[in-house]
Structure 1
Amino acid sequence: MKLPSTKPPVQLVIFDMAGTTVADEHEVEACFAQAAADTGLTVSAERILAMQGMGKRQVFDLLWREQLAHPTADTTRYVERSYGRFTEVLEDHYRNNPVHPTDGCLETFAFLHLLKIPIALTTGFYRSVTNIILGQLGWLDDLNERFEGTDESVIQLSITSDEVEEGRPRPFMIQKAMQHFGVTDTQAVINIGDTPSDLLSGQAAGIWYNLGLTNGTHTRQQLEPYPHYYLLNSLTELPEFIRSI
């Protein structure tokens, strides 16, 4: 890939949540698997992992179409039952278990604050569970009713998959974040996530610095085949990456 002749300074960093900025020991997959089992949907752990980062309602729709072996079937009642059960299990988990930032996350946020680079979080979660997670971390406190922060807030924007036309791997959450901050140059944006869908959405949005994170839900070997500019071992490496560009 040819490098751009001029590289503008970074104007925005867009982070995924679970596995990237929020520690995830595969509990989201476990919640998804439980909801699937409870509602009669058969799916392997490998298949669930492969679709991490995507909007969960969309995932249930895809999986039910596969199980029914009828791509044009009306899956609405199946999807709603599975998705409803998933929201119950997931929200119960995050309400009743500690939530922690990933290794290097807070230090990286502090570095970006010093440079006055805004931080946007995107997620395949829906808004209500996202707020539970942000609240557990103390990151919700300074956000307004549109989930926008100030320069002093831990994050400056939160976007969920149910607030755009389609979630990942489509580019709409990234595009919404760029529009919010008035950033038009895709070479001035870093998109970072730990799943294939994170990288695919970055590619779809035309993000130059499309970064994978290999200490989240997916390994380096699992992320390597997907479009990326660079793969980080952890968020502790992001400040040095930004200095290098």
Structure 2
Amino acid sequence: MNGAERISVACLDLAGTTVADGDAVETAFAEAIATMGVVAGTGAHDRAMAAVHDARGRPKLDVLRSLFGDEARAQAAHLSFERSYDLIVDRRGLAPVSGAEKALDRLTGAGVRVCLLTGFSRRTLGRIVDALGWWDSVDMALCPEDGGRGRPWPDLILSAALRLGIDDVRHIAVCGDTENDILSGRRAGASIVAGVLTGAHDADRLRRAGATHVLPSVAEFADLVVLSPPPLHHDDAMTADHR
């Protein structure tokens, strides 16, 4: 197997993986939920925020649908979420996770195509990538509106594979900070599904979801991808089994 058959596409999550999140996403959720009458200091609020934390990585609108069970209320809460997130970004600004930009350069410099994935809407995705000036650093950026079902389903990763002309999902590497990111990568058949510890979920949770690697941050992910051996194909496995 030659070098061209190594990992050729890297799918990286945004908030908590390549973009420093802090508490911005959960703060925006809390403010959105409050506009629907679920206010801080109540048991209902605590339960809702626990559900939000568990659901990190999923499409934001899907999370709100699961909380409210009513499309009109979910849509209204989603509008509030996006307004709140915009205000947080305006106040605090956006910054990459330490080492993220070097990781993107390392991947693209090695000929690996990079796709950013997110559970944000297309509008918020565009705002984040614009603010960071990353359009020239990546090949593609996809949100749930682009790929059918969002995470934990594999649709976004498989959409990236189709759009980038990948003929074998084993040539894909995935990186994310949540259980849902990991589940999505495993269901897509990616060879590398790495969890990072800069975001929402801890190492144990990432491992239970099926992470092939747990890394301190995306900075280590680039070396893992670039230096990884080629994925084992069926014919290779058959040969190895009969040695």
Query: If the TM-score is normalised by the length of the shorter chain, which range does it land in?
Result: 0.7 to 0.9
Q: Which residue of 2 aligns with 1:30?
A: 27
Q: Distance in 1 between matches of 2:122 and 2:45?
A: 25
Structure 1 residue aligned with 2:196, among 192, 213, 216?
Answer: 213
Report SS of the residue matched to 2:56: coil
Q: CA deviation at 1:18?
A: 0.3
Q: CA deviation at 1:219?
A: 1.8
Q: CA deviation at 1:199?
A: 0.6
Structure 1 residue aligned with 2:168, among 185, 191, 198?
Answer: 185
The one-character-per-residue Cα deviations of 1:83-112 (angstroms, maximum 9, x if unpaired) are 121121112222343111112111111111
Matched, 1:238 2:242: no
Matched, 1:127 2:129: no
Q: Distance in 1 between matches of 2:54 and 2:19?
A: 19
Structure 1 residue aligned with 2:79, among 77, 84, 90?
Answer: 84
Q: Is the 8 A contact 1:25 1:217 kept in 2?
A: no
Q: Distance in 2 between matches of 1:93 and 1:201?
A: 28
Q: Distance in 1 between matches of 2:66 and 2:228?
A: 40
Q: Distance in 1 between matches of 2:45 and 2:159?
A: 32
Q: Which residue of 1 aligns with 2:61?
A: 57
TM-score by length of 2: 0.85
Q: Distance in 2 between matches of 1:119 and 1:53?
A: 18
Letter aligned with residue 6 of structure 2: P
Q: Distance in 1 between matches of 2:204 and 2:22?
A: 18
Q: Which residue of 2 aligns with 1:47?
A: 51
Report SS of the residue matched to 2:223: helix
Structure 1 unmatched ranges of 5 or more: 1-6, 66-74, 141-152
Structure 2 residue aligned with 1:114, among 92, 97, 109?
Answer: 109
Mapping of residues 161-172 of structure 1, within 5 Å: 161-172=144-155
The one-character-per-residue Cα deviations of 1:149-174 (angstroms, maximum 9, x if unpaired) are xxxx2111010112222111111110
Q: CA deviation at 1:240?
A: 3.0
Letter aligned with residue 31 of structure 2: Q
Report the structure, 1 or 2, having the larger helix content: 2
Runs of 4+ in 1 over 6 A off after TM superposition: none
Identity of aligned residues (%): 26
Letter aligned with residue 52 of structure 2: I
Structure 2 unmatched ranges of 5 or more: 39-43, 230-243
Report SS of the residue matched to 1:173: helix
Letter aligned with residue 218 of structure 1: H
Q: CA deviation at 1:52?
A: 0.8
Q: CA deviation at 1:201?
A: 0.8
Structure 2 residue aligned with 1:94, among 89, 92, 113?
Answer: 89
Output the aligned Cα RMSD.
1.8
**How many residues of Structure 1 are paired with residues of Structure 2 in the alignment?**
219
Q: Distance in 1 between matches of 2:145 and 2:87?
A: 20
Letter aligned with residue 152 of structure 2: P
The one-character-per-residue Cα deviations of 1:114-139 (angstroms, maximum 9, x if unpaired) are 21111100100001111111111012
